[in-house]
Amino acid sequence: MNKLAILGGTPVRDVRTNPWPKWPVWDKNEEIALIEVLNSGVWSYNGPKETEFNKNFADFTGVKYAISAANGTVTLLMALEACGVGVGDEVILPGLTWQATAATILDVNATPILVDVCEDTWCIDPKEVEKAITPRTKAIIPVHLYGSFADMDEILRIAKKYNLYVIEDCAHKHGGEWNGQKAGSIGDIGSFSYQLSKHLTAGEGGTVTTNNFDLYEKLDALRNCGRRPEPETEVKADKGEGVYFDAGNFLQSGNYRITEFQAAILIEGLKRLPEQNRVRDENGIYLNSLLKEIPGVIPMKRDARETKEAYFNFSFRYNMADFKGLPVAKFRAALTAEIGIEVAASYTPLNNCSLYVPLTKPARHKLNDEYWAAIDPSRFKLPVCDRIHFEGSACIHHKILMGTYADMDLVAAAIRKVYDNAENLL
Ligand SMILES: Cc1ncc(COP(=O)(O)O)c(C=O)c1O
């Protein structure tokens, strides 16, 4: 009866008869909103749905301005450009993140500086940030990874000391709070993603948030081919041609715009987000309390300053020695078979990641030999990222936290079963 599912036994959760909560979540309201957009014929940018969503998201996040765009990659790009990051600048980011955080830095011809993360949160280590600062440093991008928060107090202290921009990558943190302040309202700019797996989604999409009018004006122009923000409020630097005008130069940009269809879905999704986040937080606390009892499983650290948790993935740390030497990949495969949902490794550290390979694009990036050497990711040493990714990470989509305590009991029971049977997998 206790035979592991991966070896032909009965899984702890049979998802054919007992599926996990579905993701994405939608109902009649999305259907009505989408039909409304369809019938209006207003499908593109600056429409009523986009305007409404931007206002709602700004209110929700506690900022003055929210500007939505095509996805969470272009929002990072816009954020970097709005801060004036470019040739000769360095931007410090964690080595453990999705490739877009680094790739967008390259796209503005600046140098990504990868630093190590904290073992207990997997977020950027402020001590490593401070060590990496040079006269060229222009910005820091903390990433609030999976269910954790970067130490924003320390990041802000360092940024102030060295006069740096802080761009929060909040692709995983819609609605999370640090000291009562929402993610995306703490640094100069917050960048969000609505890709399908995210806990607020329109399939694709993104938003930047800021309290700074000058940054807002640039961000809005950047998303819209360099045009000035509409409606035309407080526009300071405008030649009267509907084109953003900055320090004597027109602002070159492209089309990074969101559609009315995406905005319509986001308006409805945002109404559900606070309650979904509350349920995930409650279940996360309960599940972590169960995991603490299993040897070799270490819950992520929850800092007392994280006043509201938001989960993109539920993750935890794994110690192979306690599992009789069972390699983490085998542990994840066995747990996947027990619970019927993928248990994945963390992101691959960016110093050796097949999706972050700047040296494959000499036509774009080989500006000179010095820059070419500077952007070689393999020059960065990231021992903590390596340890997390290769030896000790387990990450599960946030939908497992959307059910009941009984669901959490099953996850813990499945991990316990793998623990009890570890020798059968060696
Ligand atoms: C940390 C992080 N930043 C940025 C992005 C990019 O977002 P998008 O997929 O919407 O372009 C992602 C997407 O997974 C992400 O996880």
Domain membership flag for residue 198 = yes
Reading the chain (426 residues) residue by residue, the pLDDT tens digits are 589 999 999 999 999 999 999 999 999 999 999 999 999 999 999 999 999 999 999 999 999 999 999 999 999 999 999 999 999 999 999 999 999 999 999 999 999 999 999 999 999 999 999 999 999 999 999 999 999 999 999 999 999 999 999 999 999 999 999 999 999 999 999 999 999 999 999 999 999 999 999 899 899 999 999 887 755 444 444 445 555 555 544 588 999 999 999 999 999 999 999 999 999 999 999 999 999 999 999 999 999 999 999 999 999 999 999 999 999 999 999 999 999 999 999 999 999 999 999 999 999 999 999 999 999 999 999 999 999 999 999 999 999 999 999 999 999 999 999 999 999 999
Last residue of a domain, one of 220, 245, 265: 265
Helix and strand numbers (H, E) in the chain are 13, 16
> What's the domain count of the chain?
2
Both 144 and 96 in a single domain?
yes
Exposure of 262 by Cβ count < 10 A (0-12 exposed, 13-18 middle, 19+ buried)?
buried
Residues in a beta bridge with 297: 318
Both 178 and 303 in a single domain?
no
Domain membership flag for residue 257 = yes
Whichever domain contains 277, its CATH number is 3.90.1150.10
Distance 241 CA to ligand 1 centre (A): 34
Question: Tokens representing 240?
Answer: 């009267």
Domain membership flag for residue 362 = no
Domain membership flag for residue 227 = yes
Last residue of a domain, one of 216, 235, 265: 265
Domain membership flag for residue 176 = yes
- What range defines the domain where residue 194 resides? 28-265
> For position 227, what pLDDT does the model report?
82
Provide residues with CB under 6 Å of ligand 1: 71-73, 97-98, 100-101, 143, 169, 171-172, 193, 195, 206
Q: What are the b/e assignments for 392-401, b being 16+ CB within 10 Å? A: bbbbbbbbbb
Cα torsion angle, 245, 249, 255, 256, sign: negative
Both 107 and 142 in a single domain?
yes
Nearest-CA residue for atom 7 of ligand 1: 72
Both 9 and 96 in a single domain?
no
Cα dist from 261 to 73, 82, 167, 283, 311, whole Å: 19, 26, 27, 32, 25
Distance 97 CA to ligand 1 centre (A): 9
pTM attached to this predicted model: 0.96
Whichever domain contains 235, its CATH number is 3.40.640.10
Domain membership flag for residue 380 = no
Mutation test of ligand 1: which of 76, 104, 193 has the most ligand atoms closer than 8 Å to its C-beta? 193
Both 280 and 207 in a single domain?
no
What is residue 45's DSSP assignment? Answer: T
Query: Is residue 149 within 8 Å of 187, Cβ to Cβ?
Result: no
Both 86 and 102 in a single domain?
yes
Distance 351 CA to ligand 1 centre (A): 18
Domain membership flag for residue 358 = no
- Amino acid at position 233, single letter: T
Both 203 and 337 in a single domain?
no
> For position 259, what pLDDT does the model report?
98
Question: Tokens representing 294?
Answer: 């299993």
Both 36 and 18 in a single domain?
no
Domain membership flag for residue 359 = no
Place of tokens 């790009």: 77
Which H or E run includes 77? helix 72-82
Both 213 and 308 in a single domain?
no
Q: CA–CA separation, 253 vs 6, rounded Å?
A: 51
Cα dist from 201 to 23, 97, 193, 195, 384, whole Å: 10, 19, 8, 6, 31
What is residue 138's DSSP assignment? Answer: E
Q: Could you tell me the maximum CA-CA distance found in the chain, to the nearest angstrom? A: 76
> For position 237, what pLDDT does the model report?
45
Both 72 and 10 in a single domain?
no
Both 237 and 337 in a single domain?
no
Nearest-CA residue for atom 5 of ligand 1: 72
Both 87 and 235 in a single domain?
yes
Closest Cα to residue 305, out of 156, 158, 169, 153? 153
Last residue of a domain, one of 250, 265, 280: 265
- Amino acid at position 312, single letter: F
